[in-house]
Structure 1
Amino acid sequence: MSTFLAQKPIYRVKCDNKIGQPCEATFEADNDFDRGSDRMTRQAARGAGWDVPPPRGEGSRSPFDFCPEHKRR
């Protein structure tokens, strides 16, 4: 028998606001399923009011991510 450590990646979305003071806001999904995938984390952030473009730039107006306080749409 062998043992191994399997570490699951955790994805977060960070606000890209650069105007004035840089924003330190970070979004992390509240369940393990969404945290383990870049795409699901971005969908959860969009549902929480973040301005997050779709993956791979499909229909994206901007390549940046913005928290609800700094969103531009």
Structure 2
Amino acid sequence: AISICDTIVRLNLVGKFSGSLSHMANLGRELEKAEIALKHGLEYKQDEPLINKTNKSNNLMRQMKQMKLKEDEFGW
């Protein structure tokens, strides 16, 4: 996620419009969420919470505790 964000900034792919900082922040959060999903076998869908592929009834907080991850201010 970090290297992708660095490349986007370096190549100025976000552009210069009023919402570009907000857009970049959201993009960074989604990339980080996608990376967590890949590392831990979770299902990723943009703008949706991460869920366990094998047991969709599990809630994210229980999964995070099992993986010893802490929820951040955005509920990830």
Shorter-chain TM band: under 0.3
TM-score by length of 1: 0.28
With a CA cutoff of 8 Å and minimum separation of 6, indicate the structure with the bigger relative contact order.
1
TM-score by length of 2: 0.27
